[in-house]
Chains A and B, each alone.
Chain A
Amino acid sequence: MKILVCMKQVPQKDAPLKLNDAGTWIREDVSYEVNEPDAFALEEALRQKEKHSGEVVVITAGPVRAQQVLREALAKGADRAIHLEDNAFVGLDASNTARAFAAAIKEEKFDLIFTGLQSDDYGYAQTGVVLAELLGWPHATIIMQIEKTDAGIKVKRELEAGYFQFVDMPLPAVLTIQSGINKLRYATLIGIKQAKNKPLRKVALAEVQSAIGSNMQKIERLYIPQKTKNTEFLEGAPGEVAKKLVEKLRNDVRVL
């Protein structure tokens, strides 16, 4: 099985975010990490390779710093990496990111393409599905299980409220992977060492420029959300706070 995993680098979960002067994006002087759903997608690809043999290739579109995500993936067991390296990739919408990916992998023959179900920065949940449409491939989203079958694959799709659905699909296909599908592995020291020798192909913006159009949507402004709730912060030592909470529970919430 030849599997491509699309990965994204996003600000760390607890990174304090500051707006840029224009109020259109965040200041980039924060710490970054791999988008957690993509880490689950990678883990799933590695497990499929362990079961069925094959190759796992990882791809990301982003500035120089995004290489870290690829290095970690190679250290965990991915075979090859592709880095669409340019600051401009940060500002592309999901449609254009998918177009860039499609252009970069034109010469390859993947059986499966995984993405995380969504990114923790934008949260659009679109890139994988757009990519499937651009490639003309079938897709399924929010996947919790993948099994190889004679005719292709059988996937378990997660629905709301604890419901699920099995779907039979032909290959090649695009799947967006749900968090919690598996347990993430750590890179081993040997893996980290081996990663240095694994192929990492850089793709310049110019190489995929013809595939990308202008963005079809624009963030006009980014801002700290307006609060609609009148939150009352309770302060003091734990014992004091506990008493204050009980007072609220009794007089305001009325559960005591």
Chain B
Amino acid sequence: MPDSILVIVEQREGKLNRVSWETLTAGQALAAETGWTLEAAVVGSSVVNFANEVAGKKVAKVYALESPKLEPYTPDAFAAGLKQFIASRQPKLVLLPHTYQVRDFIPKLATAMERTAISDCVGYKKEGDKLLFTRQMFQGKLAADVSFTCDAPWFVTFQNGAFRGDKVEAGASSAPVETVKVEIADGVIRNRPQEVFKEAKQAVDLTQAEIIVSVGRGIKEQKNIDLAKQLAEALGGELAASRPICDSGWLPMDRQIGSSGQTVAPKLYLALGISGAIQHIVGMKGSRAIIAINKDSEAPIFEIADYAVVGNLFDIVPSLIEEVKKAKAGS
């Protein structure tokens, strides 16, 4: 079998997870550089429609891995089904998006195959014959290039936004789609999941806001949030926060930006006292303009900021509110 790259495309609740296009873009880039064949697989109970959608992209073949036991998602079923398939197809590289679902099964699948996964990668490098995968370490303060020291298959998950889903290449013609029936024995599945649901009454849709003023732990106390609120109001924007602020109940959960909350890409994202932990950054790095105010000059948020202020937000924000109001009054 020629060397291949297998992209596992994610579908959930009847929809293709759009982050899968990013993984496919990564697969296309790696295929171009290595000369390996690119294939994709969708996993579920009835996924031929999704496979057909993927087949419209530049990919050699798409598999629909099917079993009624693959719906709803459980780690036992996904690991068992994918292990069978990967053992038979023997790809060199298996690529997945670093979604909460993938995090739930990929270490199990890799271990079951006596392999390992390099997770949450933001890119790759090819140095001679060697493939290195780049990941953030220490919450973004340092970067690491990581290699596999074991045999294939090599499992890699890519961080949201590491590749551009809109850059995925379309195929010249539709790729062949093959349905593969997967056997999952009785007793393999131990978890019994219920329906997925949304908890917070979505009082505000932050994805529609043009301007977002966001607070992190640097805001120190709940009462200080009022300062950020005033700035948001002065700018005509929405208030948001990183996870710890919402966990503490200082702002409701529907104000949370990050991997567990909303992903936004406003015209302006103003980060106050936010260090820039990875789980937060993935939710806002697509913002068109990022302004960060933080007293720690080493804060990882400064790596993605367009304009940066190293200073005390409690001194700067009141002045900023004043200046914004003056500007809006036309002076």
* Interface residues, chain A, with chain B CB atoms under 8 Å away: 11, 13-14, 16-17, 19, 26, 93-95, 98, 120-127, 129-130, 132-134, 138-142, 157-170, 178-180, 214-227, 229-235, 238-239, 241-243, 245-246, 248-250, 252-256
Contacts and interface: CB of A to CB of B under 8 A. Distances in A.
B307 A164 contact: no
B310 A233 contact: yes
Nearest to A225: B143
Interface stretch (B1-9, B63-71, B312-320): B312-320
Contacts, number: 258
A146 to B, nearest CB: 14
B137 A229 contact: no
A125 B144 CA distance: 16
A220 B116 CA distance: 16
B142 A222 contact: yes
Given A141-B100, A160-B100, A217 B147 contact: yes
A167 B322 CA distance: 50
A167 B136 contact: no
Given A180-B243, A229-B304, A253-B267, A160 B117 contact: no
Given A94-B107, A216-B115, A243 B149 contact: no
A121 B135 CA distance: 11
9 contacts: A129-B108, A159-B100, A159-B196, A162-B262, A178-B260, A221-B144, A222-B137, A246-B320, A248-B307
Given A159-B196, A238-B318, A246-B326, 19 more contacts: A95-B116, A123-B278, A142-B260, A160-B100, A164-B196, A215-B149, A217-B149, A221-B144, A223-B142, A223-B143, A224-B143, A229-B304, A231-B303, A231-B306, A232-B307, A238-B311, A238-B315, A238-B316, A253-B291
B322 A132 contact: no
Contacts of B309: 233-235, 241, 245
A148 B210 CA distance: 44
Interface in B106-146: 106-108, 110-112, 115-120, 132, 135-146
A255 B139 contact: no
Given A139-B75, A232-B308, A245-B291, A164 B199 contact: yes
A126 B144 contact: no
B179 to A, nearest CB: 28
B268 interface: yes
Contacts of B135: 123
A224 B142 contact: yes
A241 B319 contact: yes
A248 B306 CA distance: 10
B307 A245 contact: yes
B149 A214 contact: yes
A169 to B, nearest CB: 5
Nearest to A233: B308
Interface in B139-159: 139-150
Contact of A239 (B106, B112, B139, B319): B319
